[in-house]
Structure 1
Amino acid sequence: MTLSFSPLLKQQQTTSFRHFVEQHSTVCDVLSAEQLSAFKQAITLSDFVLNSALQAPELVIDVFKKPNKEELPDYKSLLLEQLSGCLDEAQLHRIIRHFRLQQMVKIALDDLVFNISLDISLKRLSSLADELILASLQWLTDFCQKKWGTPTNEQGEQQVLLVYGMGKLGGRELNFSSDIDLIFTYPESGETQGCRRSIDNQQFFTRLAQKLIASLHQITCDGFAYRVDMRLRPFGDSGPLVLTFNAMEDYYQEQGRDWERYAMLKARVIGESKYHEQLSSMLRPFVYRRYIDFSVIDSLRRMKMMIAQEVRRKQLINNIKLGAGGIREIEFIVQVFQLIRGGRVKELQQRSLLIVLPKLVESGEINETNKDVLESAYRFLRRVENIIQALADKQTQTLPDNELDQQRLLAVLAIETWHDFLALLAKHMNGVHQEFDLLIGLDSPNHQAADEHWVTLWHSRWSDEESIAWLDQEALAWQSDKVWQILHDFREDTGKRSLGNRGRQVLDKLIPLLLCRLQKNEMAEQVLARVLQVFSKIVTRTAYLELLFENEGALKQLIHLCQASSWVTDYIAKYPILLDELIDPKLLHNPPQLSSYAVELRERMLRIPEEDLEAQMEALRQFKQSQQLRIAAAEIADVLPVAQISEHLTALAEAILSEVINLAWQQVSERFGVPTSCLDGLKEKGFGVIAYGKTGGVELGYSSDLDLVFVHHSQPDEVTTGSKSVPASQFYMKLAQRIMHIFNTRMNSGILYELDMRLRPSGNSGLLVVHLNTFAQYQHEDAWTWEHQALVRARMIFGNDELRQQFINVRQAVLSQPREFTELKNDIITMREKMRSHLSKSSESHFDIKQGTGGLVDIEFLAQFLVLAYANQHHDLMLFCDNLGIFKRLLKLDLLEAVEQQKLSYMYQKLRALGHQATMQNEGQLIDRQKVTGQSAITDIWHKCLID
């Protein structure tokens, strides 16, 4: 078959073939004229084919000598033949990579030159991945059994590792250049038999799974076979690499999320197994509900909104997967019907989208016309996706923006011009988006127009005097001269900036609409100034102007938040991507459950390629900012009291910290391996994070630093498992440095959190991470009294159960040391007076909430003194890290009188509330003394406990 090439492609063909012949002059001699023609066309259309031919000419030329004659090659037999003499893992890696390269060149040839059907192409791509996984698994299973024995259950029955293919691999719809999402499981616990030293099944299958991932994912001199993504497994990156059937079932039934139901729709055990039916029946109740489940539509709406936000944030243009009417919307439409009806209509329990579509017609969910629109669009978009990925074996769904690749795409599709292609693409995607909108019922746009007088005012068609007079008449609550000046200054500023025609048009509609909505607002001049502060940051970003104009309620929410809080105004102005959060008021004012922050973050991170660290770091920052906005909105709406606000902010920080550690661990372990005691997951990471201060006391504010100390629990002389092995202590040092880098690097969206590590042993001069035994020794032998005070509020927020318990033991041993009362009092009084003299900003008229006499720090020092003074006699005092909990326990132990406990607790909560209010208005921690009373009661208790 000869494709029609444009002049540009003919020139490219000449250049590419000359480049190949210059390096491999005689290789093409074995090809017939027809085969040579196909070769020339393939290297013209695909840089991947050209580069593969340059890298492995004999391997690639063999493809053109023996074109595919069957619909699906016998990959299994071909692989088994090549692996029959495989001696070690290095040779396994080489065979897997060479085989994949050769077969992918064959698929590219058939896709680009011979125009095979989409169905055949997807079947080949999926089957190739299946057989590479299975062949590698079979070889590695034999290899591991020779080394560690055969895994068995309690009855002595052999156990096997099963591999779930997820996503497009599971649906047998794999695209040309794709990650493969996998989940590993095995039937039952037990231990290995047939070797000198048995290991348990969890260790065996973890080691086997690690080797299987490396056989596909690891980059060698031959490249890699597939990017393997394990983040869809239960608990994500923080979870075990493999789970038993029972553990999987427990997870999905007890903790499975809506998005995991979508993911499990396509889950498929790769290869033949006697456990297929057992696994299917185990997971089916989680995926398919017996009742008609309409809740999935709301879940899908949220997922789609998150994707739309991602498209805006990444400024994705011409994305045929994530854009409106793209592949993802077609998948969502089909999957929604599967989840709603699949529990009752068994025919919908299929993995392949193209198989489900006609079933939806048969069951009456959609009509034949709907089906044709979706199917033709899906086939067209998937064909385009495969072609643009085959150009360079690159995972992309974005249309090419250079003429050469555009011409390549047109040649394969036999479309004459780029304009014709875009018109056909728009027809398909518009049809899909209409079906999608009808299904999920997204909020309709707000095309409300403002009164013409407000338009006239904005365009300054009247004189200053006329404008102010009109405002006096129409907006009775306004200080018209101030409003007019604010508006005038903003117009002057934006007039000097490059907005573009579309941006200017939207702004000219948006400002009058804003003024109209503020007409009856008694704080109009303040609110207008704040909203325009946000506008000034987005006037050159038309997408955000359109978001505010088009989405019902978004502008209203922005006005409401800006009116309530100067801090929120500054926050949105600093990070305009937060405007996405205003679209859904229900979501905005309802922060997640405390336990859900980690799950929501994991869901967001799953959509980012594992190797894209920059995107991951941006996503972490954007997640923090969006969740803090939701918490602030809930505070403004009086949904959350101050104590719960801090609980949410602390839970958010802990979820982010955990994700950062997982990212850092992945990066460091890829280079150095992991400490040997962590290899089998028995001690997880052997790494712990101790939180101090507001983080430890669950009292974080919106701008709080994180006071942290890193510890590890490696064995003496322990090293890592990688080819570049290092001592475990050095591994943990590099891990800590990587964590700091992820937190502190300034990205477009700022830093993640300020980390304060000064409370570690020996402060800034000490090591960044120390062994827990070293930490304990320092606390017992070298720590100052103020460091023991800090330990009162300390708790471990990351680490396995063993490490957490060891820290608790250390903390309690230190806090319960016998102490000499007079010396303890003197140390605490001296430290407090030193802090007050250096830090307190109180005056006759204003009170420093934190450092003033009778303020927050005095209350905190009282709690710490009483714990250090009496923990030796009353171990219950060490159960709490928060001040209110300590005061309650002191009352129960008769170490505080009831009136004292009430005054301390009341003033502590009141001062914290005042501090939150001041923060929300950017007013600092100095407040008018008339706003707060009761400091004298705190001073009286201070004198009674520490001076009298």
Structure 2
Amino acid sequence: MNGEQLEKTLSASVYAEKVFSIYREQIEEDYNLDQYLSGLSRQEIVRITQKTLQEVEDEQQWMKLLRILRARLMFRWIWQDVNKLTNVVQLTKELSDFADICISEAKDFAQKPLLQKYGEPIGVDGSVQDLIVIGMGKLGAQELNLSSDIDLIFAFDEQGETNGKKVIDVQQFCILWGQKLIYLLDHITADGFVFRVDMRLRPWGDGSPLALSYAALEKYLIQHGREWERYAWIKARVITGIEKGQELLAMTRPFVFRRYVDYTAFAAMRDMKSMIEKEVVRRHLQDDIKLGAGGIREIEFIVQVFQLIYGGAKLELQDRQCLVSLAHLAEMEFLTTSVVKQLKDAYLFLRRVEHAIQALNDQQTQSLPVTDDLRVRLRIALGYGTWSEFIDDLDTHRHIVKAQFKLLIQENIDTETVTNQENLQQHLNEHLDESARQLVHEFWSSNAVKKLPAQALDRLKAFWPTFIELVLQSEKPQSALLRLMPLIESVLRRTVYLVMLVESKGALQRLIKMAVVSPWICEELTQYPVLLDDFLSMDFELPTRLDLQDAMRHQLLRVEADQIEDQMRVLRLFKKSHVLAVAASDVLAESPLMKVSDALTDIAEVSVDTTLHLAYRAVADRFGFPVLKNGQRCTLDTKGFIVIGYGKLGGIELGYGSDLDLVFIHDLEEQTDTNGLKQITGFEFALKVAQKFMSLMTTQTLDGRAYEIDTRLRPSGEAGVLVTSLRAYGLYQEKSAWLWEHQALVRARSIAGDEVLRKAFEVIRSQVLTQVRDTKVVQDEVLKMRQKMKDHLGSNETEKKSGIFHLKQDAGGIVDIEFMAQYMVLAWSGTKPDLARYSDNVRILEDAARLGNLSNAEAQALIQAYLSERAESHRLALANKNMQVQATDWQDTREIVCKLWQKLIDPTAGNALDSQ
């Protein structure tokens, strides 16, 4: 053997000396094995353990052999750790793998005598019940120390009875099974133990049955689960009974990771930290590198609090391992890269110290030794020349951890602010009129507040002074207060939201700023408080199309194909939360109008695409697939069905609250049946898909509707069928459509469905729009349609005389510009087909200038007028105001638009503004 490495190992560990003196011959034999000096894979550990125990039937012999194997492996791991032949991650993984196989082997060995005595445990459904072993703590995270306890929970699927001569119930069988498993591993013999087993993390702890059914465990977590247990269950991992065990873990996930952003985790962490600190003082554990200030537990708490706050929405944060989740915190920018590196370095350092401490005497302890001889051994194990050098490094790491932990958990409630609540309230009253002051008084005097549970009332009282302080700092305190009071009232029974806002003061400031600008946002949040979850974690960057697709996919992964209500909930909350995110970016980050419209359009398109897929799959699951016109059988990818977006959706110009103008087109053999057990014709299939789509999108639920949908632009309007074949659509556009329908087609665009069919639609659109038309006829028809709209939707004479301008419908408004763009396509694309390429007004106007039909100055003037008017329409929508504005503010813009209207469409009009 390597003498220098052996001497260092024996000098570092009393336990290693003891093991070497007993098992020297076997250890020297082990050393000659190649894998002794390198890492052991899980498969190798399994093979070594099973080989050791193979064909052993005697219980005492089984226990003896496993304990000897454990001692030899422990010597090996200490050797590698002391001589830096391994690292913390590799070592803890190998230790955890060994624990897994020991548990599995002990479980199998413990079952045999029980089966002989009682028979198999049979559930009420007739299935044989298994003992599910859940690893908690460091075992669950595969982070075991050299001398860790293993925290276990035993469970089984369902109640029942054994089928042997002596009958006992399944729970009693599993309790006996678990007791024997513990004895085989935990009992101390002349050869020591394998693992100390701790069962106190099970529901109700030591006072409860050793094994529980899934139903009992679920009931406990729902009704009695405590906050500290959420922390514990983060690390839960199935050791045996993988399939059923995974079902159990899936059941616990909603308890651990709340669907909403959950800032109550801060309070729970503070409570646990307070209890730990009291225990540290009581037991004189200040030098405990796990529980003491700046220790391992504080690093774990830092990671876990982010996991509990955001893990429900960000699945990456559900990882059990501390270092993995720590890396994710940097990727998601919850912590800076430099802070994460410091915490990682501290964690690895402290865990290595922990191993060295436990290697001294094979004891489960994290306290620094106090005797000189053990201190010498520890510094040798860690490679330090003096004790003071080691302590300097230890203090440096602990100071960093302590500072970061304090920064994270410090209370965000200013105690001086709380103390001065009356002064703040008086200051607020100076900014309120009598009706607003009365509203506040009525709120605090209301039965809703009086009936709040004590904890909820405390949360409200803690929130209120912070809220008042920030309201007073806003531009319009009364507006902010009046708009947010309904939201506060709506969350009184879910005061966790108030905790979130207090813990995230920046989020509360942003909320107040948005309230000043947009009552619409406040109304959305009040009606759907669940949107606060997303608001609090927003980064206020506009979402990309890829971001939206990923978000939708992740949310639907949790929903089964037949859970229609859950699908509708996902669609609605997806739309509402992302539109809210766009509005926040619009208001707080002042994102450009075109990018805001692009983002709103992307949200709608992802919603439409997803809804079409869900609707198509639902119909296909029931009736089978139809046949395409080319004779091929459809699939989920080759649907033979598309959705066309018209209007603002087609023109990539959606605003807040816009409905969707949609047309459904298919390319199916209408009379050929589907291939399901229950068959329908291709036409019936297409119709059912369209109807299912409409139902998923527009059904009113507790979460509202996803979108309002208008299908009146389909061939023949409301008199036509809901879905049309591509051929019939093309014939209608060619033979029967009015010119105004071709106008509408300018802003049409295929947005979802079969790619081949989408391209075929674009060909038809291009062919229809690039027909050679009589310019005078187009002018007359466009002018006639525009006048109808002004008469029905524009300002009346009284409003015009009082200086009102309808931003959208009056002369010089948005619709005039849209009609001019549509006129250009219909009148000129017969000779210049490039004009029909795009469906959005800005690019049509740009192409008109590029092709010489407009001067650059004219095109840019129209584009700037259009963007200015649309930007104002967005602002008005956010403020819940109609489109009527002061005409004097828009005089110059309107004159530009009206001048070009006169030039392009109505030369006889004169100055349209003079007639108003």
TM-score (norm 1): 0.56
- Provide the C-alpha distance between the structure 2 equivalents of 1:540 and 1:339, rounded to a whole number of angstroms: 33
Deviation for aligned residue 1:806: 0.4
CA offset digits 1:312-356 (Å, max 9, x no partner): xxxxxxxxxx9xxxx985625375379899xxxxxxxxxxxxxxx
Once the two structures are aligned, what percentage of the paired residues are identical? 28
Query: Quick check: 1:686–1:713 contact (8 Å CA) kept in 2?
Result: yes
Q: How many angstroms does 1:562 deviate by?
A: 1.1
Residue 888 of structure 1: CA displacement? Answer: 0.9
Conserved 8 A contact 1:168-1:175: no
| Alpha-carbon distance between aligned partners in 2 of 1:792 and 1:878, rounded to the nearest angstrom | 7
CA distance in 1, matches of 2:121, 2:906: 88
Change in Cα spacing, 1:298 to 1:667, as seen in structure 2 (3 Å) is farther
Residue type of the alignment partner of 1:625? K
- Equivalent position of 2:417 in the other structure: 451
Deviation at 1:752, TM superposition (A): 0.4
CA distance in structure 2 between the aligned counterparts of 1:591 and 1:746, rounded to whole angstroms: 28
The residue aligned with 2:763 is 809
Rate the CA distance shift 1:592–1:471 in 2: closer, same or farther, 3 A: closer
Summarize the alignment of residues 341-740 of structure 1 with structure 2, pairs less than 5 Å apart: 446-449=412-415, 451-452=417-418, 454-456=420-422, 478-479=431-432, 484-493=437-446, 498-584=451-537, 587-676=538-627, 681=635, 684-715=638-669, 717-740=671-694
d(CA) in 2 for partners of 1:102 and 1:490?
Answer: 50
What secondary structure, in the 3-state scheme, does the structure 2 residue paired with 1:709 have?
A: strand
Q: CA deviation at 1:693?
A: 0.3
Please tell me whether residue 843 in structure 1 is matched to residue 796 in structure 2.
no
Equivalences, count: 599
Q: Is the 8 A contact 2:666 2:726 kept in 1?
A: yes
- Closer/same/farther in 2, CA of residues 840 and 333 from structure 1, 3 Å limit: same
Alpha-carbon distance in structure 2 between the residues aligned to 1:114 and 1:566: 59
Q: 1:947 aligns with which of 906, 911, 914?
A: 906
Residue 927 of structure 1 corresponds to: 885
RMSD of the alignment, in Å? Answer: 4.5
Q: Distance in 2 between matches of 1:370 and 1:337?
A: 25
Write the distance in 2 (CA, Å) between the matches of 1:298 and 1:496.
Answer: 34
Structure 2 residue aligned with 1:113, among 169, 173, 183?
173
Aligned to 1:899: 857
CA contact (8 A) 1:309 1:580 kept: no
Cα pair 1:168 1:174 within 8 Å, conserved: no
AA matched with 2:874: H
1:836-889 deviations in whole A, cap 9, x for unaligned? Answer: 101113523111011011111111111111111111111101111011111111
Q: Greater shift after overlay, 512-521 or 492-501?
A: 492-501
2-side partners of 1:450 and 1:102: how far apart?
A: 56
User: Is 1:752–2:706 an aligned residue pair?
Assistant: yes
Separation of aligned partners in 2, 1:769 and 1:801 = 18
Q: What is the match of residue 782 of structure 2?
A: 828
Q: Which residue of 1 aligns with 2:218?
A: none
Larger deviation, residues 439-448 vs 638-647: 439-448
Contact map agreement 1:888 1:901 (CA 8 A) in 2:
yes
Query: Which residue identity lines up with residue 449 of structure 1 in the other structure?
Result: T
Q: 1:298 to 1:675 in 2, by over 3 A?
A: farther
Q: Which amino acid aligns with 1:874?
A: K
- Residue 880 of structure 1 aligns to a residue whose secondary structure is coil
Equivalent pair of 2:417/2:465 in contact (CA under 8 Å): yes
Question: What is aligned with 2:139?
Answer: none
- Following TM superposition, by how much is the alpha carbon of 1:740 offset from its aligned partner in structure 2, in angstroms? 0.7
Q: What does residue range 146-185 of structure 1 map to in structure 2 within 5 Å?
A: 174-176=242-244
Q: Secondary structure at the match of 2:751?
A: strand
Question: Following the alignment from structure 1 to structure 2, what is the Cα–Cα distance between the partners of residues 672 and 366?
Answer: 64
1:438–1:516 Cα change, 3 Å: closer
> CA 1:302–1:807 in structure 2 vs 1: closer, same or farther (change >3 Å)?
farther
> What letter corresponds to residue 756 of structure 1 in structure 2?
D
The one-letter code sitting in structure 1 at the alignment partner of 2:589 is: D
Q: Match of 1:281?
A: none
**Matching residue of 1:203:** none
1:503-543 C-alpha deviation (Å, 9 max, x unpaired)? 22221222222112334444212212122131122122222
Contact 2:804 2:887 in 1 (8 A): yes
Aligned to 2:905, what secondary structure does the other structure show? helix
Q: Please tell me the residue identity of whatever aligns with 1:514.
A: F
Contiguous gaps of at least 5 residues in structure 2: 1-113, 132-156, 183-234, 252-300, 331-346, 360-400, 908-916
Q: Which SS does the other structure have where 2:493 is aligned? A: coil
- Verify the 8 A CA contact 2:849 2:856 in the aligned structure 1: yes
Paired letter, 2:412: N
| Aligned match of 1:336 | 325
Q: Kindly indicate whether the alpha-carbon contact (under 8 Å) linking 2:413 and 2:462 is maintained by their aligned counterparts in 1.
A: no
Amino acid at match of 2:884: L
Deviation, 1:716, is: 5.5
Q: Is the 8 Å Cα contact of residues 645 and 748 (structure 2) preserved in structure 1?
A: yes
Q: What is the CA–CA distance in structure 1 between the aligned matches of 2:593 and 2:624, rounded to whole Å?
A: 44
Which amino acid in structure 1 is aligned with residue 657 of structure 2?
Answer: S
Length-normalised TM-score, structure 2: 0.58
Query: Partners in 2 of 1:365 and 1:669 — Cα distance?
Result: 58
Counterpart residue type for residue 942 of structure 1 = W
Q: Quote the offset at 1:557 in angstroms.
A: 2.3
Structure 1 residues 595, 522: closer, same or farther in 2, change over 3 A? closer
Whether the 8 Å CA contact 1:494–1:539 is kept in 2: the answer is: no
Look up the SS of the partner of 2:882 in the other structure. coil
SS at match of 2:508: helix
CA apart distance, 1:592:
2.1
Equivalent residues of 1:444, 1:552 under 8 A apart: no
Instruction: Answer yes or no: is 1:937 the counterpart of 2:896.
Output: yes
The structure 2 residue matched to 1:784, chosen from 713, 735, 738, is: 738
Task: Rate the CA distance shift 1:890–1:565 in 2: closer, same or farther, 3 A.
Answer: same
Amino acid in the other structure paired with 2:599: H
Q: Helix, strand or coil for the counterpart of 2:320? A: helix
CA distance in structure 2 between the partners assigned to 1:169 and 1:673 by the alignment: 40
Distance 1:331 1:732, change over 3 A: farther
How far residue 898 of structure 1 moved from its aligned partner, in angstroms, is 2.7
User: Which runs of 5 or more structure 1 residues have no equivalent in the other structure?
Assistant: 1-33, 44-48, 54-59, 69-99, 122-166, 182-225, 228-296, 311-321, 342-359, 373-434, 459-466
- Of 831, 847, 869, the residue aligned with 1:911 is 869
How much does 1:304 deviate?
Answer: 5.8
